[in-house]
A and B are shown apart, each in its own frame.
Chain A
Amino acid sequence: MAPVQVQRLTCTRCDTQITGSFPLPELLQLTDDELQFLLEFVKKSGSLKLMAEQLKLSYPTVRNMLDAIIGKLNTFSDTEKKKK
């Protein structure tokens, strides 16, 4: 599937609508599981050790999961930069 883009932005106060083609924020391009992982990671104050305990996985496995998300976010940033 091609990247999804936002077509319309609406002001919740005055109902002004802007139509165009806006890229989704980088975080919203992640999958539900990846977002859930990031949410839990922030709630755990960025502790990989606590994340490993919660997910019942080893420390390096959790670090690799985080690295994969960072890699994905970097790819999104690079793609956006190239478009500009």
Chain B
Amino acid sequence: MKYLFNPFIRIAGLRSLLLGWTAMLLTAAIAYFSHCHFDGVLDAHVGPGGEPAWVYLLEPALSWSCAVIVFYIAAVAVAPSGVRFIDIAGTMALSRWPMLFVALLCFIPAPLPEEPSKIRPSLIFLGLAMLVFAIWMIALMYNAYSVSSGAKGTKRLVSFIIALVVAEALSKVLYYLLF
């Protein structure tokens, strides 16, 4: 259970980067067929489909890149000793692996109703399940940041929250400009 939320005690650096990239590639492949879009560091939405495959590949890559850049800057600012870029890049890549389940969940047909009173149970289930996996991913990101930066206490929590908000905003701006 401990390693489900903090595998970074044992895995970091290049190993976590390769594992994370593999998971991201698999997620992108599944997302292509389930029409799931990861259009932000914390975002996942079901689309109508029809977009080229490179869109599904670029979306998680862009989200990961934004997280890596912002969290690396935050880690350098608050870390008590040196921070390795490869640790932030690797652990942040592995943190995204719960999104694989989100991409699978998007196969569940859950059309948006015209009126709020006609919401189907499948849509509520999909929303809640996606939320659970998003929380899992945020917990992983927090532990990734903690282990990679070595920061402690309030400084760690505050810098994490700020970095998460900035990374999300940056990714949204980049998506808006690119797509």
Contacts and interface: CB of A to CB of B under 8 A. Distances in A.
Interface residues of B, number: 15
A57 B80 contact: no
B16 to A, nearest CB: 8
A63 B79 CA distance: 12
A57 B81 contact: no
Interface string A38-62: 0000000000000000001111110
A59 B87 contact: yes
A58 B80 contact: no
Contact of B80 (A56, A61, A67): A67
B12 interface: yes
Contacts of A67: 80-81, 150
A60 B87 contact: yes
A57 B9 contact: yes
Nearest to B151: A64
Nearest to B83: A60
A64 B150 contact: yes
A58 B81 contact: no
Q: What is the size category of the interface that chain A forms with chain B? A: 10 to 19
Contacts of B81: 63, 67
A23 interface: no
A71 interface: yes
A70 to B, nearest CB: 8
Contacts of B9: 57-58, 61
B150 to A, nearest CB: 5
Nearest to A56: B10
Nearest to B13: A59
B9 to A, nearest CB: 5
Contacts of A59: 12-13, 84, 87
A60 B12 contact: yes
A61 B135 CA distance: 23
A60 B150 contact: yes
Interface of A: 56-61, 63-64, 67, 71
15 contacts: A58-B9, A58-B16, A58-B87, A59-B87, A60-B8, A60-B13, A60-B87, A60-B147, A60-B150, A61-B8, A61-B9, A61-B12, A61-B147, A63-B150, A67-B81
